Chains A and B, each alone.
Chain A
Amino acid sequence: MSKFNVLEHEIVPEHHLVPVEEEYKVLKMLNVTKENLPRISINDPAVKALEEIHGKLEPGRIIKIIRKSPTAGYYEYYRVIVKSVI
Protein backbone atom coordinates (compact mmCIF):
# COMPACT_ATOMS: atom_id res chain seq x y z
CA MET A 1 0.00 0.00 0.00
CA SER A 2 1.33 3.37 -0.88
CA LYS A 3 0.18 6.87 -1.53
CA PHE A 4 -1.12 7.40 -5.00
CA ASN A 5 0.44 9.39 -7.82
CA VAL A 6 -2.44 11.29 -9.38
CA LEU A 7 -0.73 11.45 -12.75
CA GLU A 8 -1.37 7.73 -13.13
CA HIS A 9 -5.13 8.05 -12.98
CA GLU A 10 -6.84 7.42 -16.28
CA ILE A 11 -8.91 10.60 -16.07
CA VAL A 12 -5.83 12.80 -15.58
CA PRO A 13 -4.22 13.70 -18.92
CA GLU A 14 -0.47 13.93 -19.39
CA HIS A 15 1.08 16.96 -17.73
CA HIS A 16 4.50 18.15 -18.84
CA LEU A 17 6.54 21.10 -17.69
CA VAL A 18 7.56 23.46 -20.50
CA PRO A 19 11.23 24.46 -20.08
CA VAL A 20 11.71 28.19 -19.50
CA GLU A 21 13.72 28.53 -22.75
CA GLU A 22 10.86 27.16 -24.81
CA GLU A 23 8.08 29.25 -23.29
CA TYR A 24 8.42 32.01 -25.88
CA LYS A 25 7.92 29.45 -28.66
CA VAL A 26 4.61 28.36 -27.14
CA LEU A 27 3.41 31.91 -26.63
CA LYS A 28 4.42 32.85 -30.17
CA MET A 29 2.63 29.84 -31.62
CA LEU A 30 -0.57 30.69 -29.77
CA ASN A 31 -0.09 34.44 -30.32
CA VAL A 32 -0.93 35.30 -26.69
CA THR A 33 0.73 36.59 -23.56
CA LYS A 34 0.92 34.56 -20.36
CA GLU A 35 -2.02 36.41 -18.81
CA ASN A 36 -4.31 35.13 -21.55
CA LEU A 37 -3.52 31.46 -20.99
CA PRO A 38 -5.86 29.23 -18.99
CA ARG A 39 -4.70 28.93 -15.41
CA ILE A 40 -3.84 26.15 -13.00
CA SER A 41 -3.39 26.60 -9.28
CA ILE A 42 0.01 26.05 -7.67
CA ASN A 43 -1.85 23.83 -5.18
CA ASP A 44 -3.38 21.64 -7.87
CA PRO A 45 -2.68 17.96 -7.15
CA ALA A 46 -1.21 17.44 -10.61
CA VAL A 47 1.16 20.39 -10.15
CA LYS A 48 2.12 19.00 -6.74
CA ALA A 49 2.96 15.70 -8.42
CA LEU A 50 5.08 17.53 -11.01
CA GLU A 51 6.88 19.30 -8.18
CA GLU A 52 7.93 15.88 -6.87
CA ILE A 53 9.71 15.32 -10.17
CA HIS A 54 11.06 18.76 -11.05
CA GLY A 55 11.43 20.41 -7.65
CA LYS A 56 9.64 23.55 -6.52
CA LEU A 57 7.71 25.32 -9.27
CA GLU A 58 7.18 29.06 -9.38
CA PRO A 59 3.96 30.77 -10.48
CA GLY A 60 4.34 31.78 -14.12
CA ARG A 61 5.66 28.47 -15.40
CA ILE A 62 3.76 26.93 -18.29
CA ILE A 63 2.45 23.37 -18.24
CA LYS A 64 1.75 21.45 -21.41
CA ILE A 65 -1.19 19.10 -21.20
CA ILE A 66 -1.71 16.43 -23.82
CA ARG A 67 -5.39 15.76 -23.94
CA LYS A 68 -7.18 12.89 -25.52
CA SER A 69 -10.00 14.17 -27.65
CA PRO A 70 -12.89 12.15 -29.04
CA THR A 71 -12.72 14.17 -32.27
CA ALA A 72 -9.11 15.19 -32.84
CA GLY A 73 -7.17 12.26 -31.42
CA TYR A 74 -4.63 14.00 -29.22
CA TYR A 75 -4.03 17.70 -28.85
CA GLU A 76 -1.96 20.04 -26.74
CA TYR A 77 -3.35 22.47 -24.22
CA TYR A 78 -1.41 24.93 -22.13
CA ARG A 79 -1.99 26.27 -18.66
CA VAL A 80 0.04 28.77 -16.68
CA ILE A 81 0.67 28.26 -12.96
CA VAL A 82 -0.87 30.96 -10.78
CA LYS A 83 -0.75 31.55 -7.06
CA SER A 84 -4.47 31.66 -6.41
CA VAL A 85 -7.54 30.90 -8.47
CA ILE A 86 -11.11 32.00 -8.15
Chain B
Amino acid sequence: MNVILWKDTKKNISDIEKKAPCYYAIDFDIPADITKGYITTDKKNFEYETSISEIKKYDENTDKDLLFKKKPASVTVIKIDSIKKIDKKPISDFKLNDNKSEIDSFAVGEEFTVEYKEKSEYKIPEKDEDVIADLKARGYNFPLSVVDKLAKYKKELPPDKYEKLLKRVNLEIEKREVDPYEAVGIIAAQSIGEPGTQMTMRTFHFAGVVEMNVTLGLPRLIEIVDARRIPSTPSMTIYLTKEYKNDGEKVKQLIKNLENTAIIDVADIITDVGDMSLTIKLDAYKSKDRLVNISDVINALDKIKGIIYNQVDNERILIKLQQESFKRLYQLQEQLKVTPIKGVPKIKRAIARYDNSSNEWILYTQGSNLKDVLNIEGVDPTRTYTNDIIEIENVLGIEAARNAIYREAENTLSEQGLDVDKRHLMLVSDMMTFSGAVRAVGRQGISGRKSSVLARAAFEITSKHLLKAGLLGEIDPLSGVAENIIVGQPITLGTGAIDLVYKGQKK
Protein backbone atom coordinates (compact mmCIF):
# COMPACT_ATOMS: atom_id res chain seq x y z
CA MET B 1 0.00 0.00 0.00
CA ASN B 2 1.34 3.40 -0.95
CA VAL B 3 1.81 6.12 1.60
CA ILE B 4 2.70 9.77 1.19
CA LEU B 5 5.74 11.16 2.95
CA TRP B 6 6.44 14.85 3.23
CA LYS B 7 8.44 17.44 5.09
CA ASP B 8 6.66 20.15 6.98
CA THR B 9 7.32 22.82 9.55
CA LYS B 10 6.60 22.45 13.26
CA LYS B 11 4.14 25.33 13.04
CA ASN B 12 2.06 23.70 10.32
CA ILE B 13 2.00 20.44 12.21
CA SER B 14 0.76 22.04 15.40
CA ASP B 15 -1.92 23.87 13.36
CA ILE B 16 -3.12 20.58 11.95
CA GLU B 17 -3.08 19.02 15.40
CA LYS B 18 -5.31 21.77 16.71
CA LYS B 19 -7.82 21.72 13.87
CA ALA B 20 -7.97 18.07 12.78
CA PRO B 21 -10.07 16.85 11.08
CA CYS B 22 -9.42 19.58 8.54
CA TYR B 23 -8.61 20.31 4.91
CA TYR B 24 -4.98 20.97 4.14
CA ALA B 25 -3.59 22.40 0.91
CA ILE B 26 -0.26 21.03 -0.23
CA ASP B 27 2.07 22.12 -2.99
CA PHE B 28 2.40 18.86 -4.88
CA ASP B 29 0.36 16.31 -6.72
CA ILE B 30 -0.32 12.90 -5.25
CA PRO B 31 -2.09 9.73 -6.45
CA ALA B 32 -5.71 9.47 -5.40
CA ASP B 33 -5.56 6.11 -3.63
CA ILE B 34 -3.55 7.24 -0.64
CA THR B 35 -5.02 6.94 2.82
CA LYS B 36 -2.03 7.34 5.05
CA GLY B 37 0.73 9.90 5.38
CA TYR B 38 3.86 10.48 7.41
CA ILE B 39 5.39 13.86 8.21
CA THR B 40 9.01 14.60 8.94
CA THR B 41 10.59 17.76 10.22
CA ASP B 42 14.23 16.86 9.66
CA LYS B 43 14.13 14.72 6.47
CA LYS B 44 15.45 11.74 8.42
CA ASN B 45 12.87 10.51 10.89
CA PHE B 46 9.12 10.54 10.55
CA GLU B 47 7.43 11.61 13.73
CA TYR B 48 3.79 12.10 12.77
CA GLU B 49 1.28 9.74 11.25
CA THR B 50 -1.82 11.07 9.56
CA SER B 51 -4.84 9.40 8.06
CA ILE B 52 -6.12 10.94 4.84
CA SER B 53 -9.67 10.45 3.64
CA GLU B 54 -10.12 12.78 0.68
CA ILE B 55 -7.90 14.05 -2.12
CA LYS B 56 -8.98 16.71 -4.58
CA LYS B 57 -7.58 19.40 -6.85
CA TYR B 58 -7.05 22.81 -5.31
CA ASP B 59 -9.38 25.50 -6.59
CA GLU B 60 -8.57 29.06 -5.69
CA ASN B 61 -12.14 30.30 -5.80
CA THR B 62 -14.05 27.66 -3.90
CA ASP B 63 -11.52 26.39 -1.40
CA LYS B 64 -11.38 28.84 1.40
CA ASP B 65 -11.03 28.44 5.10
CA LEU B 66 -8.41 25.71 5.01
CA LEU B 67 -4.84 25.27 6.12
CA PHE B 68 -2.00 25.91 3.70
CA LYS B 69 1.43 24.40 3.55
CA LYS B 70 2.70 27.08 1.20
CA LYS B 71 -0.14 29.33 0.16
CA PRO B 72 0.81 30.51 -3.35
CA ALA B 73 1.91 27.13 -4.68
CA SER B 74 -1.04 25.02 -3.58
CA VAL B 75 -1.97 22.21 -5.95
CA THR B 76 -3.85 19.56 -4.04
CA VAL B 77 -6.16 19.56 -1.06
CA ILE B 78 -6.24 16.63 1.28
CA LYS B 79 -8.54 15.98 4.17
CA ILE B 80 -6.63 14.99 7.26
CA ASP B 81 -8.83 12.98 9.59
CA SER B 82 -6.39 12.58 12.40
CA ILE B 83 -2.77 13.16 13.26
CA LYS B 84 -0.77 11.51 15.98
CA LYS B 85 2.78 11.53 17.21
CA ILE B 86 4.56 8.21 16.77
CA ASP B 87 7.91 6.73 17.69
CA LYS B 88 10.48 7.95 15.20
CA LYS B 89 10.42 5.93 11.98
CA PRO B 90 13.65 6.26 10.01
CA ILE B 91 13.47 6.78 6.26
CA SER B 92 14.88 3.30 5.76
CA ASP B 93 11.50 1.94 6.88
CA PHE B 94 10.06 3.03 3.54
CA LYS B 95 10.71 2.07 -0.03
CA LEU B 96 10.40 5.24 -2.05
CA ASN B 97 9.19 5.21 -5.63
CA ASP B 98 11.59 6.07 -8.46
CA ASN B 99 14.45 4.48 -6.49
CA LYS B 100 14.90 7.55 -4.37
CA SER B 101 16.81 7.17 -1.15
CA GLU B 102 16.15 10.51 0.46
CA ILE B 103 13.27 12.89 0.73
CA ASP B 104 13.34 16.36 -0.76
CA SER B 105 9.98 17.89 -0.02
CA PHE B 106 7.69 14.95 -0.53
CA ALA B 107 7.73 11.40 -1.82
CA VAL B 108 5.37 8.56 -2.49
CA GLY B 109 6.50 5.23 -1.23
CA GLU B 110 5.70 1.94 0.30
CA GLU B 111 5.99 1.09 3.94
CA PHE B 112 7.91 -2.05 4.69
CA THR B 113 5.80 -4.48 6.57
CA VAL B 114 7.24 -7.31 8.53
CA GLU B 115 5.37 -10.15 10.05
CA TYR B 116 6.95 -10.56 13.44
CA LYS B 117 6.88 -14.03 14.82
CA GLU B 118 8.61 -15.53 17.78
CA LYS B 119 11.12 -18.13 16.85
CA SER B 120 10.44 -21.37 18.61
CA GLU B 121 12.34 -24.17 16.99
CA TYR B 122 13.23 -26.04 20.08
CA LYS B 123 10.84 -28.45 21.68
CA ILE B 124 11.93 -31.29 23.89
CA PRO B 125 11.65 -34.36 21.65
CA GLU B 126 9.11 -36.96 22.72
CA LYS B 127 11.69 -39.68 23.15
CA ASP B 128 13.55 -37.49 25.64
CA GLU B 129 10.50 -36.85 27.80
CA ASP B 130 10.47 -40.39 29.22
CA VAL B 131 14.10 -40.02 30.23
CA ILE B 132 13.44 -36.65 31.84
CA ALA B 133 10.61 -38.20 33.85
CA ASP B 134 12.96 -41.01 34.92
CA LEU B 135 15.55 -38.48 36.00
CA LYS B 136 13.04 -36.41 37.93
CA ALA B 137 11.90 -39.47 39.86
CA ARG B 138 15.48 -40.08 40.93
CA GLY B 139 16.27 -36.44 41.64
CA TYR B 140 18.90 -36.09 38.92
CA ASN B 141 19.36 -33.06 36.72
CA PHE B 142 21.20 -33.68 33.44
CA PRO B 143 21.91 -31.34 30.52
CA LEU B 144 19.72 -31.94 27.48
CA SER B 145 22.59 -33.19 25.37
CA VAL B 146 23.13 -36.03 27.85
CA VAL B 147 19.41 -36.76 27.98
CA ASP B 148 19.44 -37.07 24.22
CA LYS B 149 22.10 -39.77 24.35
CA LEU B 150 20.41 -41.60 27.22
CA ALA B 151 17.17 -41.80 25.23
CA LYS B 152 18.94 -44.03 22.75
CA TYR B 153 20.17 -46.42 25.43
CA LYS B 154 16.80 -46.60 27.17
CA LYS B 155 15.48 -48.68 24.28
CA GLU B 156 18.52 -50.89 23.91
CA LEU B 157 19.39 -51.73 27.49
CA PRO B 158 17.56 -53.94 29.96
CA PRO B 159 16.04 -51.99 32.87
CA ASP B 160 18.63 -52.99 35.47
CA LYS B 161 21.54 -51.96 33.27
CA TYR B 162 19.75 -48.73 32.35
CA GLU B 163 19.40 -48.02 36.05
CA LYS B 164 23.10 -48.63 36.52
CA LEU B 165 23.90 -46.34 33.62
CA LEU B 166 21.87 -43.48 35.08
CA LYS B 167 23.65 -43.85 38.39
CA ARG B 168 27.05 -43.86 36.74
CA VAL B 169 26.27 -40.82 34.56
CA ASN B 170 25.05 -38.93 37.60
CA LEU B 171 28.25 -39.77 39.44
CA GLU B 172 30.41 -38.54 36.57
CA ILE B 173 28.42 -35.33 36.17
CA GLU B 174 28.57 -34.58 39.89
CA LYS B 175 32.32 -35.11 39.83
CA ARG B 176 32.69 -32.52 37.07
CA GLU B 177 30.28 -29.92 38.37
CA VAL B 178 31.68 -26.58 39.48
CA ASP B 179 31.47 -26.25 43.24
CA PRO B 180 29.96 -23.16 44.82
CA TYR B 181 32.57 -20.41 45.27
CA GLU B 182 35.00 -21.97 42.84
CA ALA B 183 37.07 -19.28 41.09
CA VAL B 184 35.93 -20.06 37.55
CA GLY B 185 37.05 -16.67 36.25
CA ILE B 186 40.67 -17.24 37.17
CA ILE B 187 40.63 -20.71 35.63
CA ALA B 188 39.12 -19.31 32.43
CA ALA B 189 41.71 -16.51 32.33
CA GLN B 190 44.57 -18.98 32.66
CA SER B 191 43.09 -21.42 30.18
CA ILE B 192 42.76 -18.76 27.49
CA GLY B 193 45.94 -16.93 28.44
CA GLU B 194 48.32 -19.87 28.27
CA PRO B 195 47.53 -20.87 24.64
CA GLY B 196 47.71 -17.15 23.87
CA THR B 197 51.45 -17.21 24.53
CA GLN B 198 51.86 -19.81 21.81
CA MET B 199 49.77 -17.81 19.40
CA THR B 200 52.08 -14.82 19.34
CA MET B 201 54.79 -16.70 17.54
CA ARG B 202 52.56 -18.41 15.07
CA THR B 203 50.77 -15.27 13.93
CA PHE B 204 53.61 -14.24 11.63
CA HIS B 205 53.44 -17.43 9.63
CA PHE B 206 49.77 -17.11 8.91
CA ALA B 207 49.64 -13.44 8.00
CA GLY B 208 48.80 -12.72 4.39
CA VAL B 209 47.90 -16.24 3.36
CA VAL B 210 44.18 -15.65 3.22
CA GLU B 211 42.96 -14.02 0.03
CA MET B 212 40.98 -11.37 1.84
CA ASN B 213 43.45 -10.25 4.48
CA VAL B 214 41.77 -10.65 7.85
CA THR B 215 43.38 -10.12 11.23
CA LEU B 216 44.06 -13.46 12.85
CA GLY B 217 45.76 -14.84 15.88
CA LEU B 218 46.58 -12.91 19.02
CA PRO B 219 45.85 -9.41 17.61
CA ARG B 220 42.35 -10.59 16.72
CA LEU B 221 41.79 -12.18 20.14
CA ILE B 222 42.83 -8.94 21.84
CA GLU B 223 40.46 -7.07 19.57
CA ILE B 224 37.57 -9.31 20.59
CA VAL B 225 38.05 -9.03 24.35
CA ASP B 226 38.77 -5.30 24.09
CA ALA B 227 35.38 -4.80 22.38
CA ARG B 228 36.84 -2.33 19.87
CA ARG B 229 34.33 -0.05 18.21
CA ILE B 230 35.76 -0.83 14.78
CA PRO B 231 37.86 -3.96 14.18
CA SER B 232 41.04 -3.49 12.15
CA THR B 233 39.74 -5.61 9.29
CA PRO B 234 35.95 -5.58 9.26
CA SER B 235 34.59 -8.16 6.86
CA MET B 236 31.29 -9.79 6.04
CA THR B 237 30.21 -13.21 4.90
CA ILE B 238 27.13 -12.79 2.75
CA TYR B 239 24.91 -15.75 1.98
CA LEU B 240 22.44 -15.56 -0.88
CA THR B 241 18.83 -16.57 -1.35
CA LYS B 242 17.71 -19.56 -3.40
CA GLU B 243 17.32 -17.63 -6.67
CA TYR B 244 20.76 -16.10 -6.44
CA LYS B 245 23.03 -18.66 -4.87
CA ASN B 246 23.63 -20.80 -7.96
CA ASP B 247 23.36 -18.13 -10.64
CA GLY B 248 26.82 -16.82 -11.49
CA GLU B 249 25.55 -13.88 -13.56
CA LYS B 250 23.25 -12.63 -10.83
CA VAL B 251 26.05 -12.94 -8.30
CA LYS B 252 28.30 -10.82 -10.51
CA GLN B 253 25.61 -8.17 -10.75
CA LEU B 254 25.09 -8.24 -6.99
CA ILE B 255 28.79 -7.70 -6.34
CA LYS B 256 28.77 -4.60 -8.52
CA ASN B 257 25.81 -3.28 -6.59
CA LEU B 258 27.49 -3.98 -3.28
CA GLU B 259 30.86 -2.38 -3.91
CA ASN B 260 30.88 1.25 -2.97
CA THR B 261 31.90 3.20 -6.07
CA ALA B 262 32.97 6.84 -5.89
CA ILE B 263 33.55 9.09 -8.91
CA ILE B 264 37.32 8.78 -8.61
CA ASP B 265 37.02 5.00 -9.02
CA VAL B 266 35.62 5.28 -12.53
CA ALA B 267 36.68 8.69 -13.85
CA ASP B 268 39.45 11.26 -13.96
CA ILE B 269 38.79 14.72 -12.63
CA ILE B 270 40.58 17.47 -14.54
CA THR B 271 40.75 20.98 -13.11
CA ASP B 272 41.05 23.95 -15.43
CA VAL B 273 42.01 26.97 -13.32
CA GLY B 274 41.99 29.41 -16.24
CA ASP B 275 38.45 28.51 -17.19
CA MET B 276 37.36 27.97 -13.57
CA SER B 277 35.90 24.62 -14.48
CA LEU B 278 36.18 20.93 -13.71
CA THR B 279 35.87 18.12 -16.21
CA ILE B 280 34.92 14.59 -15.29
CA LYS B 281 36.26 12.17 -17.86
CA LEU B 282 34.86 8.69 -17.59
CA ASP B 283 37.43 5.93 -17.89
CA ALA B 284 35.96 3.45 -20.37
CA TYR B 285 37.63 0.37 -18.96
CA LYS B 286 37.06 1.16 -15.28
CA SER B 287 33.46 2.20 -15.76
CA LYS B 288 32.65 -0.93 -17.74
CA ASP B 289 34.19 -3.05 -15.03
CA ARG B 290 32.05 -1.38 -12.37
CA LEU B 291 28.92 -1.26 -14.57
CA VAL B 292 28.64 2.51 -14.27
CA ASN B 293 27.49 4.76 -17.10
CA ILE B 294 27.41 8.51 -17.47
CA SER B 295 23.82 8.88 -16.30
CA ASP B 296 24.77 7.33 -12.94
CA VAL B 297 27.42 10.02 -12.56
CA ILE B 298 24.90 12.73 -13.41
CA ASN B 299 22.51 11.34 -10.80
CA ALA B 300 25.26 11.59 -8.24
CA LEU B 301 26.03 15.17 -9.29
CA ASP B 302 22.39 16.16 -8.74
CA LYS B 303 22.93 16.00 -4.99
CA ILE B 304 25.76 18.56 -4.96
CA LYS B 305 24.59 22.12 -4.47
CA GLY B 306 25.94 25.27 -6.09
CA ILE B 307 27.17 23.78 -9.38
CA ILE B 308 26.11 23.85 -13.02
CA TYR B 309 26.99 20.80 -15.06
CA ASN B 310 26.85 20.10 -18.77
CA GLN B 311 27.25 16.82 -20.55
CA VAL B 312 29.77 17.43 -23.31
CA ASP B 313 29.80 14.02 -24.92
CA ASN B 314 29.46 10.38 -23.99
CA GLU B 315 32.30 10.41 -21.52
CA ARG B 316 32.83 13.98 -20.40
CA ILE B 317 30.91 16.27 -18.07
CA LEU B 318 31.83 19.92 -17.67
CA ILE B 319 31.16 21.44 -14.26
CA LYS B 320 31.11 25.12 -13.40
CA LEU B 321 30.48 26.90 -10.15
CA GLN B 322 27.51 29.16 -9.65
CA GLN B 323 29.70 31.62 -7.78
CA GLU B 324 33.27 31.60 -8.99
CA SER B 325 35.90 31.16 -6.31
CA PHE B 326 39.25 29.37 -6.37
CA LYS B 327 38.80 28.06 -2.86
CA ARG B 328 35.44 26.55 -3.67
CA LEU B 329 36.81 25.08 -6.90
CA TYR B 330 39.48 23.27 -4.97
CA GLN B 331 37.00 22.08 -2.36
CA LEU B 332 34.68 20.86 -5.10
CA GLN B 333 37.42 18.80 -6.66
CA GLU B 334 38.04 17.06 -3.33
CA GLN B 335 34.33 16.61 -2.80
CA LEU B 336 33.80 15.10 -6.24
CA LYS B 337 36.48 12.50 -5.67
CA VAL B 338 34.55 10.90 -2.82
CA THR B 339 31.02 11.43 -4.12
CA PRO B 340 29.39 8.00 -4.11
CA ILE B 341 27.77 6.82 -7.32
CA LYS B 342 26.40 3.52 -6.21
CA GLY B 343 26.91 0.66 -3.83
CA VAL B 344 26.61 0.18 -0.10
CA PRO B 345 28.55 2.64 2.06
CA LYS B 346 31.63 1.17 3.80
CA ILE B 347 31.79 -1.95 1.58
CA LYS B 348 35.12 -1.49 -0.17
CA ARG B 349 35.43 -4.72 -2.07
CA ALA B 350 33.52 -7.94 -2.50
CA ILE B 351 34.58 -11.27 -3.90
CA ALA B 352 32.59 -14.42 -4.54
CA ARG B 353 33.72 -17.92 -3.82
CA TYR B 354 31.98 -21.12 -4.75
CA ASP B 355 31.54 -23.34 -1.75
CA ASN B 356 31.77 -26.95 -2.83
CA SER B 357 30.36 -28.48 0.33
CA SER B 358 27.08 -26.54 0.30
CA ASN B 359 27.04 -25.92 -3.48
CA GLU B 360 26.43 -22.20 -3.44
CA TRP B 361 28.13 -18.88 -4.05
CA ILE B 362 29.19 -17.04 -0.91
CA LEU B 363 30.32 -13.42 -0.95
CA TYR B 364 33.14 -12.11 1.22
CA THR B 365 33.56 -8.38 1.63
CA GLN B 366 36.13 -5.94 2.86
CA GLY B 367 34.37 -3.47 5.10
CA SER B 368 31.15 -4.12 6.91
CA ASN B 369 27.68 -2.64 6.88
CA LEU B 370 25.28 -5.23 8.20
CA LYS B 371 22.21 -3.03 8.45
CA ASP B 372 22.15 -2.00 4.79
CA VAL B 373 23.27 -5.34 3.40
CA LEU B 374 20.48 -7.24 5.16
CA ASN B 375 17.91 -5.24 3.19
CA ILE B 376 19.43 -5.88 -0.23
CA GLU B 377 17.50 -8.13 -2.56
CA GLY B 378 19.19 -11.46 -3.09
CA VAL B 379 20.91 -11.49 0.28
CA ASP B 380 19.77 -14.14 2.70
CA PRO B 381 19.30 -12.04 5.85
CA THR B 382 19.02 -15.00 8.19
CA ARG B 383 22.57 -16.25 7.65
CA THR B 384 24.60 -13.18 6.66
CA TYR B 385 27.29 -12.48 9.20
CA THR B 386 29.92 -9.87 10.02
CA ASN B 387 32.99 -10.01 12.23
CA ASP B 388 32.23 -6.60 13.73
CA ILE B 389 30.79 -7.48 17.13
CA ILE B 390 29.61 -3.99 18.02
CA GLU B 391 27.72 -3.80 14.74
CA ILE B 392 26.01 -7.11 15.51
CA GLU B 393 25.04 -5.73 18.90
CA ASN B 394 23.45 -2.68 17.29
CA VAL B 395 21.64 -4.52 14.53
CA LEU B 396 20.76 -7.92 16.01
CA GLY B 397 20.86 -7.38 19.76
CA ILE B 398 22.89 -8.34 22.78
CA GLU B 399 22.23 -12.07 22.62
CA ALA B 400 23.50 -12.17 19.05
CA ALA B 401 26.57 -10.21 20.16
CA ARG B 402 27.19 -12.78 22.88
CA ASN B 403 27.06 -15.57 20.32
CA ALA B 404 29.31 -13.57 17.99
CA ILE B 405 31.96 -13.08 20.69
CA TYR B 406 31.95 -16.80 21.37
CA ARG B 407 32.06 -17.68 17.69
CA GLU B 408 34.87 -15.27 16.84
CA ALA B 409 37.01 -16.27 19.82
CA GLU B 410 36.46 -19.95 19.14
CA ASN B 411 37.32 -19.54 15.45
CA THR B 412 40.44 -17.52 16.19
CA LEU B 413 41.74 -20.11 18.63
CA SER B 414 40.86 -23.18 16.59
CA GLU B 415 42.35 -21.67 13.45
CA GLN B 416 45.68 -21.71 15.25
CA GLY B 417 45.18 -25.32 16.26
CA LEU B 418 44.63 -24.47 19.92
CA ASP B 419 42.14 -26.45 21.93
CA VAL B 420 40.55 -24.31 24.63
CA ASP B 421 37.53 -25.69 26.46
CA LYS B 422 34.36 -24.09 25.14
CA ARG B 423 33.08 -23.36 28.64
CA HIS B 424 35.85 -20.84 29.29
CA LEU B 425 34.96 -18.90 26.17
CA MET B 426 31.27 -19.04 27.05
CA LEU B 427 32.05 -17.61 30.48
CA VAL B 428 34.01 -14.74 28.95
CA SER B 429 31.27 -13.91 26.44
CA ASP B 430 28.59 -14.11 29.14
CA MET B 431 30.54 -11.75 31.38
CA MET B 432 31.15 -9.29 28.56
CA THR B 433 27.43 -9.02 27.76
CA PHE B 434 26.07 -9.30 31.32
CA SER B 435 25.10 -5.63 31.61
CA GLY B 436 23.12 -5.57 28.35
CA ALA B 437 25.89 -3.89 26.35
CA VAL B 438 29.20 -5.30 25.15
CA ARG B 439 31.87 -4.32 27.65
CA ALA B 440 35.59 -4.83 27.29
CA VAL B 441 37.62 -6.94 29.65
CA GLY B 442 39.84 -4.36 31.30
CA ARG B 443 39.98 -0.86 32.71
CA GLN B 444 37.17 0.52 30.56
CA GLY B 445 34.93 -2.47 31.04
CA ILE B 446 34.42 -5.25 33.53
CA SER B 447 37.36 -4.60 35.88
CA GLY B 448 36.89 -0.84 35.82
CA ARG B 449 33.28 -1.12 36.94
CA LYS B 450 33.66 -3.38 39.94
CA SER B 451 31.65 -2.18 42.87
CA SER B 452 34.53 -2.37 45.35
CA VAL B 453 36.85 0.64 45.61
CA LEU B 454 39.86 -1.33 46.77
CA ALA B 455 39.52 -3.86 43.96
CA ARG B 456 39.45 -1.07 41.38
CA ALA B 457 42.38 0.71 43.03
CA ALA B 458 44.39 -2.51 43.04
CA PHE B 459 43.83 -2.94 39.32
CA GLU B 460 44.82 0.34 37.64
CA ILE B 461 45.14 4.08 38.37
CA THR B 462 45.19 3.64 42.15
CA SER B 463 45.19 7.28 43.23
CA LYS B 464 42.28 8.30 41.01
CA HIS B 465 39.98 5.66 42.42
CA LEU B 466 40.93 6.25 46.04
CA LEU B 467 40.57 10.00 45.73
CA LYS B 468 37.18 9.74 44.07
CA ALA B 469 35.97 7.23 46.65
CA GLY B 470 37.11 9.55 49.43
CA LEU B 471 35.28 12.50 47.91
CA LEU B 472 32.05 10.55 47.48
CA GLY B 473 32.30 8.66 50.76
CA GLU B 474 32.09 5.20 49.21
CA ILE B 475 31.76 2.15 51.43
CA ASP B 476 33.58 -1.11 50.74
CA PRO B 477 31.94 -4.17 52.25
CA LEU B 478 35.08 -6.30 51.63
CA SER B 479 33.15 -9.01 49.82
CA GLY B 480 35.50 -9.68 46.91
CA VAL B 481 38.90 -11.28 46.53
CA ALA B 482 41.27 -8.35 45.96
CA GLU B 483 39.93 -6.29 48.86
CA ASN B 484 40.44 -9.10 51.35
CA ILE B 485 43.99 -9.71 50.21
CA ILE B 486 44.74 -6.01 50.74
CA VAL B 487 43.45 -6.01 54.31
CA GLY B 488 44.93 -9.43 55.07
CA GLN B 489 41.83 -11.52 55.53
CA PRO B 490 40.97 -14.93 54.08
CA ILE B 491 39.43 -14.46 50.65
CA THR B 492 35.81 -15.35 49.94
CA LEU B 493 36.57 -18.29 47.68
CA GLY B 494 36.41 -22.03 48.19
CA THR B 495 36.76 -22.88 51.86
CA GLY B 496 37.29 -19.21 52.70
CA ALA B 497 33.68 -18.54 51.77
CA ILE B 498 32.36 -20.38 54.80
CA ASP B 499 31.61 -18.64 58.05
CA LEU B 500 31.57 -20.78 61.16
CA VAL B 501 29.03 -19.80 63.77
CA TYR B 502 29.12 -21.37 67.21
CA LYS B 503 25.97 -21.35 69.19
CA GLY B 504 26.91 -21.91 72.79
CA GLN B 505 24.67 -24.12 74.85
CA LYS B 506 22.93 -22.56 77.81
CA LYS B 507 23.97 -23.99 81.10
Q: Using a CB–CB distance below 8 Å, which chain A residues touch chain B?
A: 1-16, 38-41, 44-47, 49-50, 52-53, 65-75, 79, 82, 85-86
Contact = CB atoms under 8 A, between A and B. Distances in A.
Contact of B436 (A2, A15, A38, A72): A38
B236 to A, nearest CB: 13
B114 A46 contact: no
Contacts of B114: 2-5, 52
Contact of B144 (A45, A46, A65, A73): A73
Contacts of A86: 435, 437, 439, 449
By Cβ-Cβ distance, the 10 closest A-B pairs, closest first, are A73-B144, A85-B436, A73-B145, A72-B143, A46-B397, A39-B436, A52-B116, A3-B112, A85-B437, A45-B397
Contact of B396 (A12, A50, A71): A12
A11 B143 contact: no
14 contacts: A2-B114, A3-B375, A14-B119, A40-B398, A40-B436, A45-B396, A53-B118, A69-B145, A73-B145, A73-B148, A74-B144, A85-B437, A86-B435, A86-B449
Interface in B304-325: none
Contacts of B112: 1-3
A53 to B, nearest CB: 5
Contacts of B143: 69, 71-73, 75
Interface residues of B, number: 48
Contact of B399 (A46, A53, A74): A46
Interface stretch (B3-11, B78-86, B200-208, B380-388): B380-388
Nearest to A1: B377
Contacts of B115: 5
B435 A85 contact: yes
Given A9-B400, A47-B397, A16 B120 contact: yes
Interface of B: 93, 95, 112-122, 143-148, 374-375, 377, 381-383, 385, 392, 394-400, 403-404, 407, 422-423, 426, 430, 433-437, 439, 449
A2 B113 contact: yes
A9 B143 CA distance: 25
A71 B422 contact: yes
A41 B398 contact: yes
B93 A3 contact: yes
Contacts of A15: 118-119, 399
A1 B118 contact: no
Contacts of B117: 5, 7-8, 53
A44 B122 contact: no
B395 A1 contact: no
A14 B375 contact: no
A79 B148 contact: no
Contacts of B422: 70-71
B423 A71 contact: yes
B404 to A, nearest CB: 6
Contacts of B437: 41, 85-86
A9 B396 contact: yes
B238 to A, nearest CB: 13
